[in-house]
Amino acid sequence: MKKVFCVGELLIDFVAEKQGNDLSKASVFTKKAGGAPANVACAIAKLGGNGVFIGCVGDDPFGSFLLDVVKKEGVDVSLAQKSDTFTTLAFVSLAEDGERDFVFSRGADKELTYDLTLRKDFDGNILHLGAATALLGGPLEKTYGKYLFDALTKEMFISFDPNFRGDLWKDNESQFIKKCKPFIEKSHLCKFSLEEAQLLSGKTDVYDACDFLHEVGTQIITITLGKEGTLLSANNTKTLVPSIKVKPVDTTGAGDAFIGCLLHQISDLGNFKPVFENYALLLKMVEKANKAGAITTTNYGAIIALPTKSQLEN
């Protein structure tokens, strides 16, 4: 089984207790572990895979809490770094209409420094870059570029999820699009939400968006479409892979469960050739990943809602 190195942020989500409150009125917050790349590492570990998290937290109680949570799920955190800068915090309240009130206090996640010694561990493994905060600058952004370069020279399978957060790129979407381009160009697999595919391609139609993004470079594209399932595109073939019917209560983390499950299956293959050559196999993998995403929506929270191997199989 290959290792899946997931690089990026692990942060505290302070979620306002009373839904419907705006942040100026909220008084009670629940502390939760968040950060898409860390969620993906958890999704892989919960399925019995080899998820490795590479990111930076503060050398403070929040940082210790976060690493404990992720470690308990079976993620290898030996490559995580601690910084004197405080742990990154996000304060979120969700109104009943789904609108978010959001305050982001960026701290230690941006401090991740490049580790040259990792090159030997990278050999033939998988690299997942989930760029929610990584492209916002700081040492992390430079580290991202360097790991992408290392991954190419070390024949890794490279996966990219832009994880666009509108709150973080207000009035600056063109910068986001520009910064994502080299990652889409060099990755073997990209996972987009519909909003991301439309934003990054400038096309409204999902099939046109997909064609555009292939032209940028990536060979395998998955566009997740919530309850509609996933559009898979590879080898000049596109399939809308339906999801399973569930009663969703909270969709947080569904996308991370999806890509985590897909990467876990790829890591189990031993070599990456079939992923590029066997479309039927890829289709089966996406069906399973859809199931992982769907199960995640049936529970509250992100990490806690990610399915285990037995939940996925039953």
294 counts as binding ligand ATP under rule CB under 6 A? yes
Classify the phi-psi angles of 313: left when phi > 0, otherwise alpha if psi is within -120 to 50, otherwise beta: alpha
Which structure tokens are listed for 26?
């909220």
Of residues 160 and 258, the one with the C-beta less far from ligand ATP: 258
Of residues 93 and 252, the one with the C-beta less far from ligand ATP: 252
Which structure tokens are listed for 14?
């302070």
List the interface residues with ligand ATP, window 80-119 (CB under 6 A): none
Which structure tokens are listed for 226?
């919530």
Of residues 110 and 165, the one with the C-beta less far from ligand ATP: 165
Total Cβ atoms within 10 A of residue 96:
7
Instruction: Select from 83, 87, 133, 224 the one that contacts ligand ATP (CB under 6 A).
Output: 224
Of residues 28 and 244, the one with the C-beta less far from ligand ATP: 244
H or E element in which residue 150 lies: helix 139-153
225 counts as binding ligand ATP under rule CB under 6 A? yes
Of residues 195 and 215, the one with the C-beta less far from ligand ATP: 195
Placement of tokens 């993004």 in the chain: 213
283 counts as binding ligand ATP under rule CB under 6 A? no
Confirm if 185 and 214 have CB atoms less than 8 A apart: no
Smallest distance from the beta carbon of 164 to ligand ATP, in angstroms?
A: 9
13 counts as binding ligand ATP under rule CB under 6 A? no
* DSSP state at residue 165: -
Of residues 154 and 227, the one with the C-beta less far from ligand ATP: 227
> For helices 36-46 and 61-72, what crossing angle results, to 10°?
30
Smallest distance from the beta carbon of 129 to ligand ATP, in angstroms?
A: 15
CA distance 132 to 65: 21
Give the rounded distance of the alpha carbon of 222 from its chain centre. Answer: 13
Smallest distance from the beta carbon of 160 to ligand ATP, in angstroms?
A: 13
Of residues 151 and 225, the one with the C-beta less far from ligand ATP: 225
- Which of the ranges 115-123, 151-159, 264-272, 293-301 carries the binding residues for ligand ATP, by CB under 6 A? 293-301
Those residues whose C-beta lies under 8 Å from the C-beta of residue 38, and which sit 6 or more positions away, are 6, 8, 9, 10, 53, 55, 66, 70, 75
- Which of the ranges 41-49, 144-152, 169-177, 246-254 carries the binding residues for ligand ATP, by CB under 6 A? 246-254
Biggest alpha carbon–alpha carbon distance for the chain = 54
Those residues whose C-beta lies under 8 Å from the C-beta of residue 113, and which sit 6 or more positions away, are 56, 81, 139, 143
49 counts as binding ligand ATP under rule CB under 6 A? no
Instruction: Select from 67, 151, 254, 262 the one that contacts ligand ATP (CB under 6 A).
Output: 254
Smallest distance from the beta carbon of 295 to ligand ATP, in angstroms?
A: 9
Amino acid identity of residue 69, one-letter, is: V
Which residues bind to ligand ATP, rule: CB under 6 A?
A: 193, 224-227, 229-230, 243, 246, 248, 251-256, 258, 290, 293-294, 297
